[in-house]
Amino acid sequence: MSGALRDGLLGAALFLLLWEGVVRLFGVPPWILPPPSGILVTTWAARASLLPAMLATGQEALAGYAIGAVLGILLAMLLALAAPLRRLLLPVIIAVNAVPVAAYAPLALLWFGTGPLSKIVMVAFVVGFTVFLNTLDGLLRVDPAGIALLRSFGASRLGVMRRLRLPAALPDIAIGLRVSTVRSMIVAIVTEMLGSQSGLGWTIYEAVLQIDFLRVWAAILLASLLSLAFFGAVGVLERRVVFWR
C-alpha cells in the first residue's frame, strides 16, 4: 500500500511539474490557467478567509453525509424486510433519484434558506440515495442457502438481518459510503454556489464575479484536498471493517 501511495504522490508531483512548465514555457495568461506555484502562494496569502470557508463546507458535507448515510442504511433495512413496501416505494425512489441533484437545489434554498441547513439537506439527500441503493442491493443479494441455514437454526427475519444480511452487505455499504464522500463535497459546493454566505462554493462564485481567478483555483485546491482526505479516511475505515474482502 505504501508503494502505491508513493507512486501516486510521484504521479501527482510530475503532473504539477508539467503544468508549471507548460504554463511558464508558453506564457499562458493566469486567467486561463495560473501556474500551481501561483495557486499555492495565493492559497497561503488568503488563508485567513479560505480556511473558514473550507471549514464551513467541510462541516456541511460531513453533517449531511452522516445523516444521509444513517437514513439510507435504515431505509434499506426496512425495505429489505418488508417486500410489499419495497415494491411500492422503490420505483418512486428511483424516479426521484433519476433527476440530477442540481435541479432540486433551488427548492432546497427556498425551503431551508441560504444558511448551512439547505446544504446539509441536499448532501443528506444525495448521500442517502447512494447509500440506500448500495445497501439494499447488498441486503438482497445474500446467498439464499445461507438464509435457509440460519432459518433452520431457528433465526427470525430480524435475526437473519442482524447475523447474515447486514454483515454480508457491508462491502456494498462501504462502496456506497466511499462514493458518497466525493458526492457530498460536490453537492455542498454546488448548493453553496447557488445561494450562500459562506463556504468554498460561495468563495468560488464570488471570486469569479471579482475576476480573481487565482482565488478560484485556491478554493478548488482546498476543495480537492478536503475531498481527497475524506475519501481516503473512509477507504482506510472500509479496509478495517470489511477485512475479509
> Interface residues with another protein (CB under 8 A)?
143, 145-146, 148-155, 159, 163-164, 167-168, 170, 243-244
Report in angstroms how near the CB of residue 236 gets to another protein at its nearest.
Answer: 18
CB of 119 or CB of 165, closer to another protein:
165
CB of 29 or CB of 154, closer to another protein:
154
Report in angstroms how near the CB of residue 154 gets to another protein at its nearest.
Answer: 3
Cβ atoms of 182 and 96 within 8 Å: the answer is no
Report in angstroms how near the CB of residue 147 gets to another protein at its nearest.
Answer: 9
Residue 93 buriedness (CB in 10 A; 0-12 / 13-18 / 19+): middle
Cβ atoms of 185 and 194 within 8 Å: the answer is no
CB of 158 or CB of 229, closer to another protein:
158
Report in angstroms how near the CB of residue 158 gets to another protein at its nearest.
Answer: 11
Residue 76 buriedness (CB in 10 A; 0-12 / 13-18 / 19+): buried
Helices (H) and strands (E) in the chain, counts: 11, 0
CB of 111 or CB of 153, closer to another protein:
153
Cβ atoms of 77 and 85 within 8 Å: the answer is no
Report in angstroms how near the CB of residue 133 gets to another protein at its nearest.
Answer: 22
Kindly state the cell numbers that stand for 114.
441560504
Q: Which residue has the cell 447509500?
A: 131
Cβ atoms of 141 and 119 within 8 Å: the answer is no
CB of 160 or CB of 219, closer to another protein:
160
